[in-house]
Amino acid sequence: MPESLAEIVLSLTQEGKKVTAVKTVRQQTGWSLREAKTYVDRLVSDRPYAHPHVSETEITKSVRAMLRSRGKIAAIKLLRKEKGWGLKQAKDFVDQLAKND
């Protein structure tokens, strides 16, 4: 089973290969060096991350729309993809959104 980008990045940084992690992010996403480095830094520090060109409000709206149209699992997958979060963090966020709607 292929690992997610976040899992690959965390594994590389734990091995002390931060430069390789940034290069991997750039190859997989097409992001600039700055965007990729920001992603890696925030992922390692366990801070939420969204692509610099997508606002938090847009992501939340997208997750809410996905929750209504396709369900909880699809919303969790979208959130994990957009923010690079782990399963538990994404599930908790979606649960909170569902509770507040």
Q: What is the pLDDT of residues 2-48, one digit of tens each?
A: 467 878 888 888 888 999 999 999 998 888 999 888 888 877 775 45
- Domain residue limits, the chain: 5-44, 56-100
Q: Are 43 and 84 in contact (CB under 8 A)?
A: yes
Average pLDDT estimate for 80-88: 82
Q: Does the pLDDT value for residue 1 go beyond 50?
A: no
Half-sphere exposure of 55 (CA within 13 A, CB side): 3
